[in-house]
Amino acid sequence: MWVDSTAGVQFSVIASVDDGADTVTVDVAYSQTEGSRNWGIGGKRSTLEGSAAIYADPLPGWEIDIEETGTNYLITTRPSISCDGDETTGKIVFNSSSSTRPTIAFEPSGTGNLCLSIPGTFIRFEHLKFDQTNNQSNVQGMFGSTIGNAMIGVHFKDCEITQESSTQKGHCIRRNLNGADVKFTMEDCYVHDVGGVFLGSVQGRSGVKILRNHFKAMAAGSTSNNAIHIDDNYSIVIKDNIIADANARGIEIKDVSGGAIITGNVIYNSGTDGVGINGSGSNGAVIERNIIVNSGQHGIQVDHSPPDDAIQNDWNAFANNTSGSITGIALGDNDIELGSVDPFVDAGNDDYNLDATASEGQTLRDTTLILPS
């Protein structure tokens, strides 16, 4: 990094060095005055507001490490992250190396679409907690974008996303765009007391991965009441998640013509169906090795009449789903319908291990192929 103290304290990324000529070529220069750069890093600032160094300046491969100081980082505006990472040379990473996730607390003023808009691309958020701590309305939710070709390659990893401190319950993620790749990933996150993931009308050419997350106490969103809702996309993988207490469906995919894999999930206590397949384009889905319990309607509902073998479903387990295990397609050859006893040790306290003392839990233990991988 090149620092120039003669120009109002500027810094630049070094692009190249010529040892023979003793010259340095630098990229964009950034002014580092205290009035314009509130980094909110290392405890130096308790606010991330108005900070171009956070929202606009970072370049591909940069990492912004936010320290846990015991005090929330408060954002009272509705900022946008407009910087762009790069799929090849590196995403821009907002993370924390602290053992405990620092809390970024949104207290947005007035009525708006989002707490934080992401028109930027190839950005990763890791080991952070996001909460809304006032009751101002967010028409769409916590994170998202309504700008074409935006929010591509966004990745949430090991984050907690919630609106537990607010009466407002918008979508945790909302992206409703046409004609752009998605490349959205959410993994190892805890998402609770907030509306679900909504990726609608995106018509993307490449995929979505939702892996090993825990969704709990999910609220209604502005556009969908499902915990996970994906429209018009290709190459979707929804795997090894716990989805509890969805307001409506645990998972809904609609007109997903490029294939969707829904496997290894525990879907518990959904308001309506555990899994819903909606729209005549939703063929090529694979629904396997899921445990679907206590749905308000069906365990799996297919809302159209797919061609034979267009939807593969097998090795799923169903228990105590109000309207039945499955409708719209037949049970798979190795699907299991359990009795009415909950097969888990203590789902009410998030223990989804199989209860060996209950007949249903023992049945699943004996049928090892059905367990989430």
362 SS3 class: helix
Q: What is the pLDDT of residue 223?
A: 82
- What's the pLDDT at 324? 94
CA distance 363 to 318: 12
Give the DSSP H/E element, type plus range, for residue 13. Answer: strand 10-18
Which tokens is 112 given?
């708006």
Report residue 160 CA to chain centroid gap: 10
Provide DSSP, 286-331.
Answer: EEES-EEES-SSEEEEE-S-PPTTSSEEES-EEE--TTEEEESSPP
Find out whether 222 and 247 touch, Cβ atoms under 8 Å.
Answer: no
The Cα–Cα gap between 107 and 131 comes to 9
C-alpha distance from residue 5 to each of 2, 85, 279 (Å): 10, 28, 61
Range list of H helices, 20-145: 52-55
Beta-bridge partner residues of 370? none
156 forms beta bridges with 125, 186
Instruction: Work out whether strand 2-4 and strand 10-18 pair parallel, antiparallel, or are unpaired.
Output: antiparallel
Looking at residue 5, what is its pLDDT?
Answer: 46
Q: Are 259 and 285 in contact (CB under 8 A)?
A: yes
Task: Tell the burial category of 19 from Cβ atoms under 10 Å away from its Cβ (0-12, 13-18, 19+).
Answer: exposed
Distant-in-sequence, close-in-space partners of 309: CB < 8 Å, separation ≥ 6: none
pTM recorded for the entire structure: 0.84
Number of residues written out for the chain: 373
Domain ranges of the chain: 1-33
Per-residue pLDDT of the chain (373 residues; tens, 9 = 90+): 444 444 444 555 555 666 666 565 656 555 544 333 334 444 434 345 555 567 877 888 888 888 898 989 888 888 888 889 999 989 999 999 999 999 999 888 877 788 888 888 999 999 999 999 888 877 678 888 765 557 888 999 999 999 998 888 888 888 865 556 778 899 999 999 999 998 876 555 567 899 999 999 998 887 889 999 988 767 789 999 999 999 999 999 887 666 789 999 999 999 999 999 887 656 678 899 999 999 999 999 988 766 666 788 999 999 999 999 999 889 999 999 987 778 888 888 888 888 876 666 666 665 543 444 3
Residues 6+ away with beta carbon under 8 Å from 35: none
**Phi, psi for residue 22 in degrees, rounded to 5:** 55, 45
String of DSSP letters for 139-166: EEEEEEE-STT-STT-EEES-EEE-TT-
